[in-house]
Amino acid sequence: MWDRHPVNLSLVHMLPDVADRRGVALAPLLGRAGIGGDLEPGRHVARAQIATLLEEFSRKTGAPGIGLDLAAGADPLRLGPSGQALLGGRTLRECLHAHMRHMPSLQGGVRIAITESEGRACWRHSFADSDADHAGVLNEGVAAFVLAALRAVTGEAGCDLHVRLPHRARMPARDYEDKLGAGVAFGNGVGIAVSFDAAWLDRPNALFGAVPPPNDPGATPPYAWDQRDERVLMETLELIIAAAAMSGRLSLVDTARSLGLSPRSLQRQLARLGTSFEAQVDAWRRAQAQRYLVDPMLPVGSIGRMLGYRDPAHFIRAFRRWEGASPARWRGAVLARNGN
């Protein structure tokens, strides 16, 4: 199979550090995969090249399970919108669906689905046009990365997880189970499947932090917004807007619910501050659009999705209202002014 689907090199951002720790020179391996220069984030290559690079790295290090070690060094925030979205939802379900929605910004030809049956949820991930054995290191890295994200978002450290990988085992099954903390099976040939307790899907995102206990005299009630809490309210509102935009659930009703307020109460609080939910969203989108557009490698369509627009045309119209020019024209002018 010829897997020519584009992959952003940010997918392997952890490789240089791991190679350095293992004393492996990357340049010859990059050449073997036809990837010239450095692993510059934002540059795209074919996924077959990434698979070749990782296979060569596995051989050079003599570590058949190197994909699991690479996943341990991965930083979701360095994967662009798809990685940010994976940690940004209010629940695990929102995180996974937002990750799926933004996957095209990281790589093409990926099929992801979430199913539920008899109290179990299953996250399925497969690469189109991919040879399972050639992409073995990559698939193992993806599986380990997703397991870590599941545990981080749910706060669960337990072992109620099972992984099925599409290729033959590259090392003893016990080694996989010890490294992943999960049951492992091999050879389904059609992609990765990770199953877990379906109740995890609707748990609040543990990364948002715990609410201070009510009997703590030094704790400020996080949702009792009054005039003394104006700064906290606005900072919290911006965080919620950013996360909701990534997950595609940007609405007054959902935002108010996250704050423990009725929509009317939130609007009253904002009106007292001389603003509104709509105005705050608009201002946040404008500022973020300007920030993202100075990166010439980010497609305009991806920026629109990051800002919560389902249709790129809606983003373009909004940007014309803000700046009097299309995003592409505005970007061109800024880059020319900066000498890029």
List Cβ neighbours of 160 (8 Å cut-off, separation of 6 or more). 196, 197
pLDDT over threshold 50, residue 227: no
pLDDT over threshold 60, residue 94: yes
Complete DSSP assignment for 258-289: HHTS-HHHHHHHHHHTT--HHHHHHHHHHHHH
Q: Max CA-CA distance within the chain?
A: 64
**In the chain, ranges of CATH 1.10.10.60 domains:** 228-340
pLDDT digits (tens, 9 = 90+) for 235-280: 778 877 887 887 777 888 888 876 667 889 889 889 989 999 999 9
**In the chain, ranges of CATH 3.90.1520.10 domains:** 6-202
The C-alpha atoms of residue 100 and residue 88 are separated, in whole angstroms, by: 13
Q: Which pLDDT band, with edges at 50, 70 and 90, does 229 fall under?
A: low
List Cβ neighbours of 127 (8 Å cut-off, separation of 6 or more). 3, 5, 47, 109, 110, 111, 135, 138, 139, 191
The strand pairing partners of 117, in sequence order, are 120
Complete DSSP assignment for 163-228: EEESS--SS-HHHHHHHHTSEEEE--SS-EEEEEEGGGGGSB-GGG-PPPPTT-TTPPPTT---GG
pLDDT digits (tens, 9 = 90+) for 275-322: 999 999 999 999 999 999 999 888 999 999 989 998 899 999 999 999
Mean pLDDT of the chain: 87
Q: Which CATH class name applies to 228-340?
A: mainly alpha
pLDDT over threshold 80, residue 158: no
Q: Which pLDDT band, with edges at 50, 70 and 90, does 217 fall under?
A: very low
**Looking at residue 340, what is its pLDDT?**
65
Burial degree of 336 (CB within 10 A; 0-12, 13-18, 19+): exposed
Phi, psi values for residue 195, rounded to 5°: -110, 150
pLDDT digits (tens, 9 = 90+) for 101-147: 899 989 999 999 999 999 999 999 999 988 899 999 999 999 999 99
Helix (H, G, I), strand (E, B) or coil at 124: strand
146, 126 Cβ separation under 8 angstroms: no
pLDDT digits (tens, 9 = 90+) for 12-24: 999 999 999 999 9
Assign domain 6-202 to its CATH architecture.
Alpha-Beta Complex (3.90)
Provide, for the chain, the percentages of residues in helix, strand and coil under a 3-state DSSP scheme, each rounded to the nearest 5: 55, 10, 35
**Looking at residue 18, what is its pLDDT?**
95
Strands (E), the chain: 6-8, 44-46, 110-117, 120-127, 161-165, 183-186, 192-197
Helix (H, G, I), strand (E, B) or coil at 112: strand
102, 46 Cβ separation under 8 angstroms: no
Helix (H, G, I), strand (E, B) or coil at 38: coil
Is the entire prediction scored with pTM above 0.75?
A: no
141, 174 Cβ separation under 8 angstroms: no
User: Cβ–Cβ contacts within 10 Å for residue 209, how many?
Assistant: 8
81, 105 Cβ separation under 8 angstroms: yes
